[in-house]
Amino acid sequence: MANRHLSRSIAMQTLFEWDFNGYDDKKINGMLERNKKEFGPGVEEDDDFADRLVGGVLKKRKKIDGIIEKAAPEWPIEQVARVDRNVLRLGLWELLFGDRDEVPPKVAINESIELAKNFGGESSSRFVNGVLGTVYKEIGEPGKDDTGKKPFEGDLSKLPIDHLGGGVVYRRIGGGLVFAMVHDVFGYWTLSKGKLEKEEKDVEKGTARKISEELGISDVRMGENLGMNEYVASDPERGKVRKQVTYFLIETKDEDLQLKESGGLDNIRWFEPREFEDMKTYPDIKPLLEKAMKILLK
């Protein structure tokens, strides 16, 4: 499996150089080959993904630039920061003209946001997120109901496993309860979770660390283990991966939530239980909330 993230980085650096040097299409192949050798030894031997990205952007550049200007009308294309506009060119090509079976829209958007965070300025990821989110909605949100948790038809034992920790985080207010939920870029409210480090053998302790970081809270009181959810997701570098998420009931007294900057999340807030019914969330989240409520109301 080729390292798709590295290939995207090389493609972005090549487009940046091409942009900086006045859009000389005749020189871009030489720039790409040089960048592959310098920044990604071996990438050129895996597949032609970086080549397809760069070539696709060149062919559709005028159309893509017009889409950027429509999605961000206050920013003429040449006034958009050079990194940001080339990340957007890549992301829009994948989103609009790429193979969605190979790279689902959600992956294309998340990868672009990660490129913006790695190469752009402080506000780059938010800007890229906003433009791609606008275009995604305009084209009908393809794959919006794809939760990444469909039954996998294959040998699960052959897939790599990622261990994650998640939490139903709650706070007591008088005689009531409120629950912390995070909102992803695809319009779903969900529970905070994060990948555990390989060296973290204590799942409970690792989960406490990830929840504290993502929600911006310091008071984390670990409670009952609510069980594990498993699903198969697409990793841009490794392909299909088994995600095993162990969820805990977690209490906090912190009132303020501060979402850690993330490519996949864009909002965070407290929910009252009466709001759960109308909340747009993933199928495996509401049962966890219901189980937590039963425990807390005993």
* pLDDT value of residue 18: 95
Which numeric CATH code is attached to 4-138?
Answer: 1.10.940.10
What pLDDT score does 45 carry? 55
Distance of alpha carbon 8 from alpha carbon 93, whole angstroms: 12
Instruction: Provide the token pair at 4.
Output: 């798709």
Host H or E run for residue 126: helix 124-138
Residues 6+ apart with CB under 8 A from 200: 206, 209
Confidence (pLDDT) at 184: 80
What integer pLDDT is reported at residue 141 of this predicted model? 66
CATH class of the structural domain 156-296: alpha beta
Compute the Cα dihedral for 69, 71, 74, 77 and give only its sign: negative
Structure tokens given for 182: 């995070």
Domain spans, the chain: 4-138, 156-296
How many Å apart are CA 164 and CA 229, to the nearest integer?
10
Nearest to 184 by CA among 43, 118, 280: 280
Strands (E) located in 201-283: 221-235, 239-251, 265-271
Q: Which two tokens stand for residue 83?
A: 């990194």
65-117 residue pLDDT tens = 989 988 888 888 999 999 999 999 999 999 988 888 788 888 889 899 999 99
Helix (H) or strand (E) holding 180: strand 176-184
- In the structure encoding, which two tokens stand for residue 287, read together? 């049962």
In whole numbers, what is the pLDDT of the chain averaged over residues? 87
Instruction: Confirm if 271 and 281 have CB atoms less than 8 A apart.
Output: no
C-alpha closest to that of 247 among 144, 159, 143, 170: 170
- 4-138 and 156-296, same CATH topology: no
The CA-atom distances, in angstroms, between 72 and each of 16, 76, 172, 177, 204 are 20, 8, 42, 40, 43
Using CB atoms within 10 Å of the CB of residue 22, give its burial: 0 to 12 exposed, 13 to 18 middle, 19+ buried: exposed
CA 37, chain centre distance (Å): 28
**pLDDT of residue 238 exceeding 80:** no
**pLDDT value at position 1?**
39
CB atoms within 10 A of CB 87: 32
Which pLDDT score, from 0 to 100, does residue 153 have?
66
> For residue 235, what pLDDT band results from cuts at 50, 70 and 90?
low
